[in-house]
Amino acid sequence: MEENFNALLSGKTGISVIENIETIHKDSIKVGEIKKSNEELLQQLQIYGANDFSRTAMLGAIAAKQAVENAGIENINDYKTGLISATSVGGMDMTERFFYNYLENEENRRYINANDGGNSSHNIADYLGLQGTVTTISTACSSAANAIMLGARLIKSKKLDRVIVGGTDALSKFTINGFKTLLILSDTYNTPFDNNRKGLNLGEAAAFLVLESDEIVQKENKKVLAYVSGYGNANDAFHQTASSENGEGAFLAMEKALKVSNLSPENIDYINAHGTATQNNDLSEGRAIERIFGKNTPEFSSTKPFTGHALAAAAAIEAVYSVLALQHNIIFPNLNFQEKMEEFDLVPQTKLKEKNLEHVLSNSFGFGGNCSTLIFSKS
Amino acid sequence: MKKVYINGLGCISCQKTFDTDFLEEAVLLENQNKNVVSAIEPVYKDYISPSAIRRMAKGVKNGIVASAMALKDASISQVDAIITGTGMGCIEDSEKFLKAIIDNNEEFLTPTSFIQSTHNTVGGQIALGMQCKGYNFTYVNGANSFESALLDAKMQLENDENASILVGGIDEHAQYTMEFYKVAGLIKNDDETNFSVLNSTSEGYVSGEGAAFFVLENVKSANSYAEILDVSIFNSLEINQVEKEILDFLQQNLVSLEEIDAVVLGYNGDGKQDDYYKNLSEIIFKNLPQVYYKHLSGEFFTASSFGLWMASKILKTQTIPAVASVNSIEKESYKTILLYNQYRGKDHSFTLIKHADA
């Protein structure tokens, strides 16, 4: 996490040429890749011998474990604890490696079970020793925001005392080729909200946060890093993959989140935008931001030039970044921006900026018209 | 806190579960001479345009039709939210796109199957068709994918965040995935037929598919099937932990074992895996009417949605179809039903429902 924060402060991007996956698109795309092999990740997890961990599960287990340690949790089952994870590719990285091979020989058949999204969460939960409530959300690129939303609701409804929430997605040929056929992959570094933006860079990542009830905080005298004060999910109901031009779903999601938090738009000090740098998203999101905030839009930026778009994990990374922003009173820059979009007057924050932040709003949108907004507030 | 009612049902499965009363034409899947059994298709063109029928995979179509049936049954045309569960997601389109990548070495690809491979395609397409701009979630957590959706809906209805929610479980077969499941020993060998799900000792199950949708509302209606009292999920439990967890679950809901009128169990004929149920059948549930359903629905990650469909029908019709009875115990009336499901020791779920008028 410290490495992430330092990169955000120094403007150092995590986008590079792909190394871990053999793909014919190697030279025509750039990605946010974690430069560790599966063998190195397993070693880091101290998992030896046969296992059915997909790369998605490995990344998730590392991040979830860090979150649990960071929250000072010693016994994972001492309170009613849940894990809500998000993934879009699940174990696709293994399925695409061994697809025909499964029928030909036995060696890799243990990964057959790793294909479904739930398997990565099971592996993470088992790695943490968590027996209780475990589930997985998959709503494409808004998935992790929805995991955080469910976690907050489970605590609010007193169903659980503590919930580990977040998401994990590994890079795969499946997603690389999928987004490639949709013609929304940039051949260079992604440039959110720029008039000449060329598309997104895919990324891989896992990020988790620990949500705890007021009761735990009081009883254990815990230091609160930030509050989840608002959340909203809405459906654009416009097209399976494209967002509506007026950003209806995004508008509704932000409106709901503001209502849940009892805040008005003027209270939001910084927007961590979804900002994928596709033609469609940035226009739709920008329009929705304008509809909510009017002429008084606070500083906003997309941090995807640092990380790439990590699909189901994206909102979890950005939730962590939002909390870091609140803790340090810093707005992270929207790298690579040069020219304002012609459709509106919105200009993202391009330089690192110090500002007292009380409330940060974070957007995440996905296929299927899925639109989510979270609001984080200073503790 | 508001109460949560099941006010409408729609079910597409390996049985005739639409245009029918209640399983009067039931067929045992273990006698089908195949261990991957397809769902009985509704007349799609009554619900979906011909061009969309050609484009959409079976799971999406079944989801759209089952949700439309549930809305019609509940006599409503719009809901505040849509929440789905699917263990494997849109696996047919995933396979299609993946095969194209591998077979053509990443060239000559078209985006259609990629677009439709996303797990939330069913929820998204239902929303698009209904123009429902509300909350829209999809759970993909193996055998509790459907119960996760149910739990989420229940919390929102209780807190009155939404007043009506469409909740469904959907899974579909796809050629290669089923072959993989066979070589992995999850699905029984093709040559094994004419066995009894309740007494099978061999590994594996018969695989089914389908979609079951429920309209949940926080007001009772003339069509209410049941009130949902509680839903609980567990990542993993040992066989010897289940009894205690069930008793704790009932106690939290102030319901005693004696007040349970029937239990619906997820027996799937997978040898040792069914010990989770047998253990209960023979001890704490010994004197209760016991119901099973996977010999009718087949096993799949959201088969438990068929179980809830069946439990809802039992409460409404006050009968347990003979084909679904584990034992011969009957009750004069059926008011409270407990459902228990798990998959290979993972994703346990307890669901407690009672008659809407009880």
| Predicted structure pTM score | 0.98
Residue with tokens 């469910």: A150
Q: Which residues of A touch B176 (CB under 8 A)?
A: 99
Residue B198 within any structural domain of the chain: yes
Query: Which residue in chain B has the smallest CA separation from A249?
Result: B133
A253-273 confidence digits (pLDDT tens): 999 999 999 999 999 999 999
| pLDDT confidence of residue A164 | 98
Task: State the residue range of the domain holding B182.
Answer: 5-217
Q: Which residues of A touch B102 (CB under 8 A)?
A: 96, 99-100
Q: Are residues B29 and B131 in the same domain?
A: yes
Query: Which residue in chain A has the smallest CA separation from B230?
Result: A159
How is residue B73 written in tokens?
A: 């049954």
Average pLDDT of span B165-183: 97
Measured distance CA(A176)–CA(A153) in Å, rounded? 34
Average pLDDT of span B215-221: 98
Q: Are A181 and B151 an interchain contact pair (Cβ–Cβ within 8 Å)?
A: no
Query: Which residue in chain B has the smallest CA separation from A97?
Result: B102
Residue B90 within any structural domain of the chain: yes
Cα A225–A230–A236 angle (5° rounding)? Answer: 135
| pLDDT confidence of residue A312 | 98
Residue B226 within any structural domain of the chain: no
Q: Are residues B107 and B196 in the same domain?
A: yes
- pLDDT at residue B190 is higher than 90: no
- pLDDT at residue B185 is higher than 90: yes
How is residue A133 written in tokens?
A: 């409530």
Q: Are residues B23 and B65 in the same domain?
A: yes
Cα A119–A120–A126 angle (5° rounding)? Answer: 85
B72-100 confidence digits (pLDDT tens): 999 999 999 999 999 999 999 999 999 99
Q: Are residues B209 and B273 in the same domain?
A: no
> B117 in contact with A at a CB cutoff of 8 Å?
yes
How is residue A289 written in tokens?
A: 């931001």
Q: What band does B192 get if pLDDT is binned at 50, 70 and 90?
A: confident
> B51 in contact with A at a CB cutoff of 8 Å?
no
How far off is chain B from A123, nearest CA to CA, in Å? 10
Chain A contact probe: residue of B110, B131, B137 with most A CBs at under 10 A: B137
* CB within 8 Å of B37: residues ≥ 6 apart: B14, B29, B206, B207, B208, B209, B298
Residue with tokens 């929250």: A71
- pLDDT at residue B15 is higher than 90: yes
Q: What is the CATH number of the domain that holds B173?
A: 3.40.47.10
Report the candidate in B198, B209, B249 with the shortest Cα–Cα distance to residue B351: B249
Strand A270-272 and strand A299-301: pairing?
parallel
More confident residue, A276 or B201: A276
Q: Are residues B178 and B237 in the same domain?
A: no
Q: Are A367 and B115 an interchain contact pair (Cβ–Cβ within 8 Å)?
A: yes
Q: Are A112 and B180 an interchain contact pair (Cβ–Cβ within 8 Å)?
A: yes
Measured distance CA(A373)–CA(A69) in Å, rounded? 27
Closest by Cβ to A130, choosing from B124, B132, B235: B235
Give bridge partners of residue A141 from the DSSP assignment: A139
CATH number of A226-378: 3.40.47.10
Q: Are residues B239 and B202 in the same domain?
A: no
| pLDDT confidence of residue B193 | 82
Q: Are residues B250 and B299 in the same domain?
A: yes
Please give the positions of A annotated as active site: 141, 274, 309
Q: How many domains in chain B?
A: 2
How is residue A339 written in tokens?
A: 């020219």
| pLDDT confidence of residue B33 | 85
| Selected residues 119-148 of chain A with any CB under 8 Å from a CB in chain B | 119, 121-122, 125-126, 130-140, 146
Measured distance CA(A295)–CA(B71) in Å, rounded? 42
In the 3-class helix/strand/coil scheme, how is A152-190 assigned residue by residue? HHHHHCCCCCEEEEEEEECCCHHHHHHHHHCCCECCCCC
| pLDDT confidence of residue A201 | 98
- pLDDT at residue B32 is higher than 90: no
Q: Counting one residue from A and one from B, how many pairs have CB atoms under 8 Å apart?
A: 212
Domain ranges for chain A: 17-220, 226-378
| pLDDT confidence of residue B31 | 85
Closest by Cβ to B148, choosing from A135, A140, A241: A135
Q: Which residues of B touch A130 (CB under 8 A)?
A: 235
| pLDDT confidence of residue B358 | 79
Burial B115-139 (b: 16+ CB within 10 A, else e): bbbbbbbbbbbbbbbbebbbbbbbb
> A118 in contact with B at a CB cutoff of 8 Å?
yes
Q: Are residues B172 and B313 in the same domain?
A: no
Q: Are A134 and B141 an interchain contact pair (Cβ–Cβ within 8 Å)?
A: yes
Query: Which residue in chain B has the smallest CA separation from A25?
Result: B106
| Selected residues 147-186 of chain A with any CB under 8 Å from a CB in chain B | 150, 153-154, 156-157, 159, 173-174, 177-178, 180-182
In the 3-class helix/strand/coil scheme, how is B32-83 assigned residue by residue? CCCCECCCCCCCHHHCCCHHHHHHCCHHHHHHHHHHHHHHHHCCCCCCCEEE
Any idea what DSSP says for residue B40? P
CATH number of A17-220: 3.40.47.10
Residue B294 within any structural domain of the chain: yes
Give pLDDT tens digits along chain A (379 positions): 889 999 999 999 999 999 999 999 999 999 999 999 999 999 999 999 999 999 999 999 999 999 999 999 999 999 999 999 999 999 999 999 999 999 999 999 999 999 999 999 999 999 999 989 999 999 999 999 999 999 999 999 999 999 999 999 999 999 999 999 999 999 999 999 999 999 999 999 999 999 999 999 999 999 999 999 999 999 999 998 899 999 999 999 999 999 999 999 999 999 999 999 999 999 999 999 999 999 999 999 999 999 999 999 999 999 999 999 999 999 999 999 999 999 999 999 999 999 999 999 999 999 999 999 999 999 9
Summary mean pLDDT of chain B: 96
> B244 in contact with A at a CB cutoff of 8 Å?
no
Angle between helix B58-73 and B91-103 (nearest 10): 170
Q: Are residues B85 and B25 in the same domain?
A: yes
Q: Are residues B118 and B60 in the same domain?
A: yes
| pLDDT confidence of residue A35 | 97
Q: Are residues B11 and B140 in the same domain?
A: yes
A334-371 confidence digits (pLDDT tens): 999 999 999 999 999 999 999 999 999 999 999 999 99
Measured distance CA(A112)–CA(A336) in Å, rounded? 41
Report the candidate in B229, B169, B170, B213 with the shortest Cα–Cα distance to residue B73: B213
| pLDDT confidence of residue B194 | 83
> B254 in contact with A at a CB cutoff of 8 Å?
no
Q: Are residues B204 and B333 in the same domain?
A: no
Q: Are B145 and A121 an interchain contact pair (Cβ–Cβ within 8 Å)?
A: no
Average pLDDT of span B277-287: 96
Residue B258 within any structural domain of the chain: yes
> B253 in contact with A at a CB cutoff of 8 Å?
no
How far off is chain B from A139, nearest CA to CA, in Å? 5
Residue A378, φ and ψ in degrees, nearest 5: -65, 145
